[in-house]
Structure 1
Amino acid sequence: MKGAATYDEYLALIKSIKDQDRKTWFNQTEAKLTQGEEKLNAYMKKKRDELIGNRKYIYDAYSPSLMFHYAKNDIMHNALFEIFKRMPQGGNLHIHTGATWDNDKFTKMLADDPNVYVYWDPDAGLKPSYPNGKLYYLKKAPTSPNFYNYSKIAKSNSPVFMHSKKMLTFIDPRVDDIEYIWDGFNDYFIAVSSILKVREIYKKYYVAAFKHQYEHGNDYIEIRAGVPALVDSNDAEITATEPSKSAYTAEPPEALTLLKAAYREAKNSGCPDLKVKAIVAPSRRTSKDPDSDITEAMAILKCIPEWQRKLKDDDDSEFIIGFDVVSEEDINHRTQDYAQKIIDMRSPVSFYFHDGESNWVDNDNIHSAWALGTQRIGHGINLYNFPTLLGKIRDEKICLEICPVSNQMLRYTKDLRIHPIAQFMQQGVKCVICSDDPQIFETAGIYYDLWEVYHGAMIDLSDVKELIKNSYTYSGMTTVEKTQKLAAWEKKWQKYINEIQSLISL
């Protein structure tokens, strides 16, 4: 007979294995919970158990097993939602320009501007120059009847307005019918790609977006930032055949200069301890001339040291902290495509590669990210396929930026109970929770994502604390900045624990 010889030996074997697993857990250094934290921890576990109840084996009864657009309403009315919403959530290390704010507030801002138009031709479908739902800022009223004044159609709640607004979000059952999910996802970025190049709109958008994220619990943000050429209006674009492109020189692009100005304005408008840093992130999407895409990305990388120097923050810390390439991995440029040029350049810039956002075992971008010396990895979902690399990333304390809601909505892990973050934490890999594209998924802060991980991976309050603190520890801040942020967060956390006691009862 194989296995235990006695029942006592059987129990001892199970305990031994579980104890060994716990020794590899990612938060071994986290201090024991205080009495107040233990009370909250017990309350949270009780409420989670009640949510599971006798529905544990009914697939559609537990929110993390449902796609977020179906689960969101239940999450918002769950007993623990307010617990997570009130938490001081630290930083958000993975959030993209263009999808940073709130959809309702964004569309209201556009509807208040008489110069905003949306293109809509229900009979033509998508056109190369004018995709349906694309937004424009036009000082000269267009002659085509397919350009609708946004202010007018918003006031009447016309079908065009409702359809175009729906295209700016993924919280809708229509996404279930999208065969290639990135087509629907990219429709959003196409819709806003022109209007968010307009200086006036760009600045207002990011001031409001940074304030919005701050008000929802994140006092530190690292934003993946593109560098579009900004314009006064989109009038020329609707007649030109090619959009304008930036020329990359030692002078920082206006998009980065205005992004920093927006951060400073938000900070001075009721967000005193807000800190924002940028990771410059051109797209890895392939065009008609794939070589030119890589050449352009490398031209940006070459300029970053000068941009860093000229855009230093008021305390002499960096505003620009690194470089990345973004967009869908499986069909676009591999990270390896950039490797030779990156190595030859010997750039001093830190890398924060957006890799492993794939379920495929033959997608080896995450290997390239590690070999090129990345500081963190954006997503890293398919790391579970590569045990040797997982060990390297764990031992070298390369943190994974996990975006649960995004991963689910883009169909990488439809059931968040089997999201690989549980395995990563079990194996001792450092992780942090991020929101990726909160405007598209209609999330705010990171509390929806934290809620999903808490319920899906069955973690406890000490794990939640570690995930939050990692947003400072593995950030691109200086050591001094990290120390200050962590100390300030500890005070906020203790205040939160004291105040939350009145809301919980066992």
Structure 2
Amino acid sequence: MTVTNWVVTASGLISLFIHIDAGFITYEDARRAVIQAEDALLTGGRLHLNDKEERANEIFMRYKFDELAAGFYDSDVNAAGLHFFKGKPLIDKSNVLKFLKRMPKGANLHMHNSASVSSDWMVRNISYMPGLLRCTNKEGISILSFRRTPREHGCVTQYVLVNEERFRSISPAVYDRSFEKLINLYTPKPDSDYPTIKHVWRKFQNMFSTTGDLLSYIPAFRAYTRRMLEEMYEDNLMYAEVRMSFKELYDYSGRLFPPDRTVSELLVIVEDFRREYPKFWASKRFTQHIAMLNGRVCFSSLKHSNNCKHCIFSIANPDFIIGFDLVGQEDLGKPLHNFVSELADLPKSAKYFFHAGETNWYGASTDFNLLDALLLNTTRIGHGYALMKHPVLWNAVKKRNVAIEVSPISNQVLGLVADLRNHPGSFYMSQNLPMVICNDDPGFWGSKGLSYDFYYAIMSLAPNNAGLKTLKSLVWNSLRYSVLSKQEERVAFEKLENAWDEFISDVLKGKVF
């Protein structure tokens, strides 16, 4: 038996200490064995890189160690330990980020479409569309709409044309900066502006109210959805499973279109995009989404394809249901346990993709959503932030191979963790729990694509010496834990491997930095 084998389990570690005391093994050999055993347990720890990948990893690690060393001696430049709003200017200059932007990242398995597109693009494009109106409701929330006879939305002010407001403002640039604040949580002072989870979640949810009716306007929906695909493609993603509300659409004349029209619009947009960009690969599945609003769940018509108000779609062919989810701030909503009977009544073929454990509480009904999600045989767990506190559950996750959808920046911006080096994702990596890196609502905090979340995954969640093996494992996980069929998965992996080999060659040729 080798020394390393002794330390893989707790009992083996005790045995190792005994052998040290007896003089059968040197202190340094024992120390080395423990480190090697932990490295083997880490996400990607048992992955073997080929010669080219090893050389690419050496290049990547030089840049990673340089940034970590600078941050170790000066906390003001340690982006890995800063709030994203403070660290982003540093990350934008980072060679690690350059590497990650060029790296194929496979799939994004947890993103909400209504917060997926960059706020600056929304300002430059959607806000300049003719006919956009704005009003303010009694809570002080701005409501945007293209309806000629806008719905009430509880507004206490008259609707005004955005283009006229912009014309009457000090300058278009000043107006645009003010407009962007309606749809982006950014602040240079996150600690004081959002002192509690309650404060940041209130503004976060208000932004969905601001854009909800706007995104039901067919021309805006088309442009927005197209841009969502572009931003993923530009960040070297090849596939996505997107949480979405399938709502009634409308046009400028006031005509209304049922949710099925949303499905047909999506099909056209995605297929047109795939023809233009063949590298953007997509599945042939559709998943349906239940949203929890004010403690209620939309269960109506769930047994019928495409008729629920709130849905998820898996790009690109949404014509049969494969799964369901619940969304909303878990701490304020009813626990998943309350809906077990309704969920159990859904089709036997249904797959679940529950948000669960997005909380700092321990032993509350919120974190027990993790237990109910697993008892309901969820396919993946959204966030799973509280999972580390439940050893029986995280062992079940590992044994049953249920992936955790980890969204580092979301968890930080929405108030769960201040320093991402303290994120439970570090524990999930150390135990090689099945996990994927996701971006949740990137448009609402300026983290276009998935590269920024990958930055925190490798710089904050992963140990200092983790590099390409961990990154590659996370990328491969993104397809492994998708809803792709075996045949689709095989084709997707072929495309991913080709893209990965090309990327590694570019790194070695100096084309990335």
TM-score normalized by the length of structure 2: 0.84
Is residue 250–residue 257 contact of structure 2 (8 Å, CA) maintained in 1?
A: no
Separation (CA, whole Å) in 1 of partners of 2:360 and 2:458: 22
Matches within 5 A, 1:247-326: 253-271=260-278, 273-275=280-282, 278-286=286-294, 290=295, 293-294=296-297, 296=298, 298-304=299-305, 320-326=321-327
Is residue 335–residue 365 contact of structure 1 (8 Å, CA) maintained in 2?
A: yes
Pair 1:150-2:162 in alignment: yes
Greater CA drift, 203-212 or 74-83: 203-212
Which residue, 127, 145, 151 being the options, matches 2:138? 127
The residue type paired with residue 147 of structure 1 is: Y
| Structure 2 SS opposite 1:353 | strand
Matches within 5 A, 1:19-418: 19-27=36-44, 30=47, 32-53=48-69, 55-56=71-72, 58-120=74-136, 126-127=137-138, 131-139=140-148, 146-154=158-166, 156-157=171-172, 161-173=176-188, 175-176=190-191, 177-178=193-194, 179=196, 180=198, 181-232=200-251, 253-271=260-278, 273-275=280-282, 278-286=286-294, 290=295, 293-294=296-297, 296=298, 298-304=299-305, 320-361=321-362, 362=364, 363-418=367-422
Deviations 1:462-488 (Å, cap 9, x if unpaired)?
A: 110010111111101111111101111
| Structure 1 SS opposite 2:322 | strand
Is residue 279–residue 320 contact of structure 1 (8 Å, CA) maintained in 2?
A: yes
Is residue 287–residue 313 contact of structure 2 (8 Å, CA) maintained in 1?
A: no
Aligned to 2:31: 14
Q: Give the CA deviation at 1:165.
A: 1.4
**Gaps in structure 1 of 5+ consecutive residues:** 121-125, 237-243, 247-251
Separation (CA, whole Å) in 2 of partners of 1:193 and 1:479: 36
RMSD (CA atoms): 3.2
Q: What is the total number of aligned residue pairs between the two structures?
A: 475
| Structure 2 SS opposite 1:325 | coil
Separation (CA, whole Å) in 1 of partners of 2:315 and 2:28: 60
* Alpha-carbon distance change, 461 to 313 in structure 1, aligned in 2, over 3 angstroms: closer
The residue type paired with residue 279 of structure 1 is: T
The residue type paired with residue 361 of structure 2 is: W
Is residue 242–residue 315 contact of structure 2 (8 Å, CA) maintained in 1?
A: no
Is residue 480–residue 489 contact of structure 2 (8 Å, CA) maintained in 1?
A: yes
Separation (CA, whole Å) in 2 of partners of 1:301 and 1:28: 42
Is residue 91–residue 471 contact of structure 1 (8 Å, CA) maintained in 2?
A: yes
Q: Give the CA deviation at 1:169.
A: 1.0
**Gaps in structure 2 of 5+ consecutive residues:** 1-16
Separation (CA, whole Å) in 1 of partners of 2:43 and 2:326: 28
Is residue 305–residue 320 contact of structure 2 (8 Å, CA) maintained in 1?
A: no
Q: Give the CA deviation at 1:285.
A: 2.6
| Structure 2 SS opposite 1:302 | coil
Q: Which consecutive segments of 4 or more residues in structure 1 shift more than 6 A?
A: 141-145, 311-319
* Alpha-carbon distance change, 490 to 48 in structure 1, aligned in 2, over 3 angstroms: same
Q: Give the CA deviation at 1:25.
A: 2.8
Identical amino acids, percent of aligned pairs:
23
